[in-house]
Amino acid sequence: MFDALVDHYRPHLRLLGLDLAAAILSGLLELAFPLAIAAFIDHLLPLGQWGLTLWAAAGLGIVYCLNAGLMTVVIYLGHKLGIAIETGLRLRAFEHLTRLSFGWFDRNETGKLVARVTRDLEEVGEVAHHGPEDLLIALMTFAGAFALMVWLHLPLAVLTVVIVPLMVALLTIYGGRMTRAWQAIYGQLGQFNVRLAETLGGIRVVQAFTNEPHERRLFARANEDYRRAKLEAYRLMAAAATLQYMGLRLVQVVVMVAGAGFVFAGSLSTGDFVAFLLLVTVFFRPLEKIAAVIETYPRGIAGFQRYQALLAEVPEIADAPGAVAAPALSGRIAFERVSFGYDPARPVLREVSLTVEPGQTVALVGASGAGKTTLFSLVGRFYLPQSGQIRIDGQPIERFTLASLRAQIGVVSQDVFLFGGTLRENIAYARPEADEAAILAAVRAAQLEDLLADLPVGLETVVGERGVLLSGGQKQRVAIARVFLRNPPILLLDEATSALDRATERRVQAALASLARGRTVLVIAHRLETIRHADRIVVLEDGRIVESGSHEALLAGGSAYRALWGGLGDGLGDGLAPPGAGLGAEARPVQAVGRGST
């Protein structure tokens, strides 16, 4: 682990060298002060000359100013080094997170991941700053002060150093216990963040069900667990600091009494005695620095261990060896006996075989949990099938790099996610380099012109966290605009018009029909009447294809599809409204966003 931490200093060796050089010079000047005091008492005072005394004081003042400047450099460069390492670690952690698969995120909580990338790495940065600097200064000061003490008076120096092993043992014992305590704190902090993120993210649900007291109780419990874990760490810290303080003061008292005896006996001058007392403080100051390191070290090491554990997570889905960039795809998709389950013991898809020809529109229908959305996720390799093969244009999709494959697939899901920026940023997310004309063309194609007309700042309107300032229909159309802008050969529309009113749905369906020309389209329909003109309709039940054909053929001979079509009013299928039933326009006006617009 230490080798891994040391590796992160390599890009910053010049900065580390300057920091340590300034720290060493500052430490040497600190050691010189007791000797200067000894010379002042033993040599200058007996002379009784004010001139020499004032010159000596001026010289000492210059040394103090120089040391103050060095301390400023040490503090600034040290923190600059820590921040540089912390920033590099955070960037690497974020890049690694973006490579992990959907399945990994399914198993991990966002609040804990946020803590790993923020608080954990802040503590690592503190250790990266204080660790080498404080330890080097501590060792140098420790050795230098002891050498000067031996030079001044060997018996007194031996008496002083006897207590050092006991102090080191105490610091080591408490350091290990504090490391474990801070590891527990980080675990509690992650759980604390999860509770906070879930409650605030779902505040509308919380308030709709009047569950505020329940959430307060859960938060109070997590808050109390965090408080107890932190108190335990600070209890250990207080005990270590108290023992260290008592040890230092005990040595000072012993040295003062014993030194007085040597002064009385004439083997130690008054100036050397005062210098020795000052050197005792300098001698034990490294232990104070080590104690300070021990305060931050457990937190930093615990954070670095969690960082390493994160980096050790191997992406379940990555470019296969020898993968090549996908050429311009025509869009022939073939599922060959594909089986998949989020839990392998509970399959969602069972030996699904399906071929979609280029330019075809194939609709997937079936009850909730039949596997429709899962099938979509496999096309872009967001999950890997447990068995079977998926091919595009006759090639296994593993042959293509992930980026080149996904760049040619456009997805509109029923659960639309918008970032907390502007409308422009959310639409252009599909193609960040797109110019104004391309963005406005996508806006028109997605029937968003009426929304823009109602907004004072148009595309620069901030949509709020997760698009909270937009209605469901507005968010759906922003997602559709993204696909228009991306202009891919393969479209995956997962209930893409589910949140639209009838009038808007007809306009968007016409736009989607225009976009679909010459492209392969897989669509999951919210209302079956919207896919009646699909080239083929595939009915899924319990992860298997049970029927396939045109709307007319399935109504004539397909019992499963006929049941969905005729029984929607009884709540079958995806809980969809029966054909011809209107849901009405969503009219959820919001400030700074179009009123009554969906």
Q: Domain check: are 148 and 218 in the same one? A: yes
Between 476 and 408, where is the model more confident?
408
> How do residues 263-295 score in pLDDT, each as one tens digit?
888 888 888 888 888 888 777 777 666 666 666
Residues 494-509: what's their mean pLDDT? Answer: 71
Residues 54-68: what's their mean pLDDT? Answer: 81
> How do residues 530-542 score in pLDDT, each as one tens digit?
788 888 999 988 8
Is 102 within the bounds of a domain? yes
Q: Which long-range contacts (CB under 8 A, 24 or more apart) does 60-66 make?
A: 60/33, 60/36, 63/29, 63/32, 63/33, 63/36, 66/29
Alpha helix stretches (DSSP H) within 110-211: 110-117, 119-152, 154-161, 164-201, 203-208
Is 581 within the bounds of a domain? no
Is 591 within the bounds of a domain? no
Can you give the pLDDT at residue 177? 67
Q: Domain check: are 130 and 271 in the same one? A: yes
Q: Domain check: are 81 and 152 in the same one? A: yes
3-state secondary structure (DSSP) of residue 355? strand
> What is the rounded CA–CA span in Å between residue 177 and residue 413?
49
Straight-line distance from the first to the last Cα atom of the chain, in angstroms, rounded to the nearest whole number: 54
Q: Domain check: are 349 and 472 in the same one? A: yes
Can you give the pLDDT at residue 278? 81
Q: Domain check: are 353 and 302 in the same one? A: no
Domain count, the chain: 2
Q: Domain check: are 261 and 337 in the same one? A: no
CB 387 within 8 A of CB 337: yes
Find the range with the poorest average confidence among 147-161, 188-202, 408-422, 548-562: 188-202
CB 341 within 8 A of CB 383: no
> Which residue from 78, 93, 175, 77 is spatially nearest to 127, judged by alpha carbons?
78
**How far is CA 408 from each of CA 319, 331, 385, rounded to the nearest angstrom?**
16, 9, 20
Specify the CATH number for the domain of residue 484. Answer: 3.40.50.300
Q: Domain check: are 300 and 348 in the same one? A: no
Q: Domain check: are 426 and 285 in the same one? A: no
Q: Domain check: are 401 and 529 in the same one? A: yes
Can you give the pLDDT at residue 66? 86
Residue type for 543, please? G
Q: Domain check: are 378 and 451 in the same one? A: yes
Tokens at residue 307, please?
């960082």
The interaxial angle of helices 164-201 and 270-311, nearest 10 deg, is 40
Domain that holds residue 70: 2-311
At residue 578 the predicted structure's pLDDT band, cuts being 50, 70 and 90, is: very low
Is 317 within the bounds of a domain? no
Specify the CATH number for the domain of residue 304. Answer: 1.20.1560.10
Q: Domain check: are 290 and 348 in the same one? A: no
Is 582 within the bounds of a domain? no
Is 588 within the bounds of a domain? no
**How far is CA 14 from each of CA 21, 26, 128, 137, rounded to the nearest angstrom?**
11, 18, 15, 18
